[in-house]
């Protein structure tokens, strides 16, 4: 006999009907309240999804902290950092600008670079410093043909060889220029007064408007002469911007971050054939300050984490199986002898070179002698959970340029820069070498005046900050070395990782002291 299923309605209604009438009304009220909540909950779900969850990056912005940041409101714990300091984003283009108590010392300025050198494209070194009175910026451009306007107007300055300097006094933030944003334009000229060859603008909330901001520029060229079809070497433009003219009564305190960007404009003939401008950072947009790089006042420092040393890792090519890759770009120690400066020099590759040169000068005409050095160390031998206490880069010097008929060589302040983009030794050259992310260390390198033996004279750089950043991101340490030298014959010669095993000790070495938190 089949089992008869009970009527579902009788199961639920029977207990309900047995209740007293007053109790039944309370149940109706409670059920009605919850039914009324359903449309409201559905509305809130749709609103939050459409306005926040669909595009979280458009509504929730991380707070950018600087040493001078002041926060209002509440911060909710936990707020946890692996290291004892807040490290900058790995892909931030930043120049740390040194302070000078008096005149800016040219060879001690902070330096960065951008662009390419060939028949139509330009490359530029940018040096920066500041004093109690002003901000100093000098651009040195490698440029084959020099052209300037003999009857300039403000709107046409950038149609010739010129530079545009962008500053944001509130950091590289915002989607349009406001009153904290300034644009300073300077054009190359020869002997004329500079008055008509420079102009200033200020943001108005949506764009740029002319502004009566006083500043000075000085222009110099090297080569045959401007405004002809004869090859030259390049030109330089120096800005001096008083802080008082930016509404400040003193320089920003150490650690303060400004937004910074630069564009180099180029013209190679009288008709003005279009040549794309070069900018730093490469993806900057003139009207979007948040796309600019950073200017940090003062030099960086690393705060040692409060941990006990637990170990030391030494990294050198072939030591314990480590693969260290390095390469030189530029003119080597021969100033590019045998290379066409405009079609070959920028593409020269020195893979396998066992000796390298680091060199720069004040005179832009001598740019074929300039040289940089790139090197990458693996950091996988450092325990992942360890914290970096200190890190020292050692290069072994064996000689230098100058001496004899070339004059006495001078000391060089060689600077170390972090590199974010990858590179390969067998194709590395001046034109494709990655741009510096940040200048993180510097060291005085003296010339060698007496004969020395192997492994050479050890020269060291404190790269603790750079190693800590790379280790936190589980990345290799990639470094470039370059100088802001002014003197002729400033080159300093070092051994590379391609030194033979007979001089393994002379290869570049990274020593990292670490501990556990």
517 neighbors 307 (Cβ within 8 angstroms): yes
Question: Who wins on pLDDT, 23 or 279?
Answer: 279
Contact 363, 496 (CB under 8 A): no
Task: Return the pLDDT at 56.
Answer: 34
Average pLDDT in the 457-463 region? 99
Arithmetic mean of pLDDT, 382-409: 93
- Residue 386 has phi, psi (to 5 degrees) of -75, 155
pLDDT, greater one: 149 or 449 = 149
Q: Is the pLDDT of residue 131 over 60?
A: yes
Among 142, 77, 130, 141, residue whose Cα is nearest residue 101: 130
Instruction: Give the span between the Cα atoms of 113 and 348, in whole angstroms.
Output: 18
Which of 420, 303, 447, 425 has its CA nearest to residue 373?
Answer: 425
pTM greater than 0.85 = no
Tens digit of each residue's pLDDT (9 = 90 or more) over 345-385: 999 999 999 999 999 999 999 999 999 999 999 999 999 99
What b/e readout covers 368-406, taking b as 16+ CB neighbours within 10 angstroms? bbbbbbbbbbbbeebeeebbbbbbbbbbbbbbbbbeeee
Buried b (16+ CB within 10 A) or exposed e, 329-360: bbbbbebbeebebeeebbbbbbeebebbbbbb
* pLDDT tier at 274, thresholds 50, 70, 90: confident
The reported pLDDT for the residue numbered 88 is: 46
Strand partners, 219: 237
Output the pLDDT for position 213: 98
CA distance 395 to 459: 5
Ramachandran bin of 315, using left for φ above 0, alpha for ψ from -120 to 50, beta for the remaining angles:
beta
Number of H helices, E strands in the chain: 3, 24
Q: What per-residue confidence (pLDDT) applies to 481? A: 99
Q: Among 38-42, 181-185, 502-506, 510-514, name the one with the lowest average pLDDT.
A: 38-42
Q: At 160, phi and psi to the nearest 5?
A: -130, -170
90 vs 507, residue with greater confidence: 507
CA-angle at 491, arms to 486 and 495, nearest 5°:
150
pLDDT of residue 232: 98
Helix or strand or coil: residue 415? Answer: strand
DSSP label at residue 226: S
Radius of gyration of the chain, Cα coordinates, nearest whole angstrom:
31
pLDDT at position 29:
53
Whether residue 424 is predicted with pLDDT greater than 50 in this model: the reply is yes
Predicted confidence at residue 449, as pLDDT, reads 87
Position 1 scores a pLDDT of 38
pLDDT at 33: 52
Average pLDDT, the chain: 88
Count Cα atoms within 13 angstroms, Cβ side, for 241. 25
Distance of CA 318 to the CA centre of its chain: 31
- For residue 269, give the 3-state DSSP assignment: coil
> Quick one: pLDDT at residue 91?
60
For the cut 60, the answer to whether the pLDDT of residue 413 exceeds it is yes
How would residue 20 be classed by pLDDT, with cut points 50, 70 and 90?
low
More confident residue, 45 or 340: 340
pLDDT above 70 coverage of the chain, percent: 82
Domains and CATH numbers, the chain: 99-297 (2.60.40.1190), 308-516 (no CATH)
pLDDT digits (tens, 9 = 90+) for 173-190: 999 999 999 999 999 999
How would residue 408 be classed by pLDDT, with cut points 50, 70 and 90? confident
Half-sphere exposure of 178 (CA within 13 A, CB side): 10
Helix residue ranges per DSSP H, 49-164:
none
> CA-to-CA distance for 431 and 116, rounded, in angstroms?
5
Separation between Cα atoms, residue 384 and residue 258, nearest integer Å: 34
Q: Cα separation of 437 and 449, whole Å?
A: 34
Q: Residue 113 is inside which H or E element, if any? A: strand 110-115
- Kindly report, residue by residue over 70-80, the tens digit of the pLDDT: 333 333 233 33
Q: How many CB atoms lie within 10 A of CB 297?
A: 20
């Amino acid at each position: 006999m089949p089992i008869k299923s009970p009527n579902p309605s009788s199961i639920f209604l029977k207990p309900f009907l047995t209740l007293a009438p007053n109790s039944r009304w309370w149940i109706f009220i409670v059920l009605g309240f919850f039914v009324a909540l359903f449309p409201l909950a559905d509305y809130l779900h749709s609103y939050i999804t459409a306005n926040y969850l669909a595009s979280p990056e458009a509504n929730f912005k991380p707070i950018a902290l600087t040493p001078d940041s002041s926060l209002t409101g509440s911060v909710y714990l936990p707020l946890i950092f692996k290291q004892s300091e807040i490290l900058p984003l790995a892909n931030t283009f930043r120049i740390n600008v040194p302070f000078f108590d008096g005149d800016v010392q040219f060879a001690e300025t902070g330096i960065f670079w951008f662009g390419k050198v060939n028949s139509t494209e330009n490359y530029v070194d940018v040096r920066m410093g500041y004093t109690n009175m002003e901000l100093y910026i000098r651009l040195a451009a490698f440029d084959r043909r020099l052209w300037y306007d003999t009857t300039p107007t403000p709107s046409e300055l950038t149609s010739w060889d010129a530079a545009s300097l962008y500053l944001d006094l509130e950091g590289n933030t915002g989607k349009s220029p406001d009153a904290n944003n300034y644009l300073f334009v300077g054009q190359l000229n020869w002997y004329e007064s500079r008055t008509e060859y420079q102009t200033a603008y200020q943001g108005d909330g949506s764009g740029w408007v002319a502004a009566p901001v006083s500043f000075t520029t000085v222009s110099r060229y090297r080569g045959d002469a401007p405004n002809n079809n004869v090859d030259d070497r390049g030109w330089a433009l120096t800005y001096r911007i008083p802080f008082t003219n930016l509404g400040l009564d003193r320089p920003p305190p150490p650690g303060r971050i400004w937004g910074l960007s630069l564009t180099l404009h180029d013209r190679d003939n009288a008709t003005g054939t279009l040549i794309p401008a070069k900018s730093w950072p490469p993806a900057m947009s003139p009207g979007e300050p948040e796309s600019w790089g950073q200017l940090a006042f003062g030099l960086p420092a690393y705060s040692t984490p409060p941990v006990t040393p637990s170990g030391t890792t030494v990294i050198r090519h072939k030591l314990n199986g480590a693969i260290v890759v390095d390469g030189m770009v530029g003119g080597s120690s021969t100033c590019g002898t045998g290379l066409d400066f405009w079609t070959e020099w920028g593409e020269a590759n020195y893979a396998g070179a066992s000796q390298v040169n680091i060199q720069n000068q004040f005179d832009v005409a001598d740019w074929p002698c300039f040289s940089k050095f790139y090197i990458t160390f693996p950091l996988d031998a450092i325990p992942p959970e360890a914290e970096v206490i200190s890190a020292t880069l050692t290069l072994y010097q064996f000689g230098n340029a100058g001496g004899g008929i070339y004059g006495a060589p001078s000391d060089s302040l060689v600077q170390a820069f972090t590199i974010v983009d990858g590179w390969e030794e067998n194709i590395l050259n001046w034109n494709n070498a990655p741009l510096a992310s940040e200048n993180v260390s510097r060291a005085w390198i003296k010339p060698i005046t007496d004969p020395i033996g192997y492994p050479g004279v050890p020269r060291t750089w404190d790269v603790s900050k750079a190693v800590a950043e790379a280790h936190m991101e589980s990345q290799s340490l990639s470094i470039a070395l370059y100088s802001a030298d002014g003197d002729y014959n400033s080159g300093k010669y070092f051994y590379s990782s391609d030194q033979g095993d007979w001089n393994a000790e002379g290869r570049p070495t990274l020593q990292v002291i670490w501990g556990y938190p």
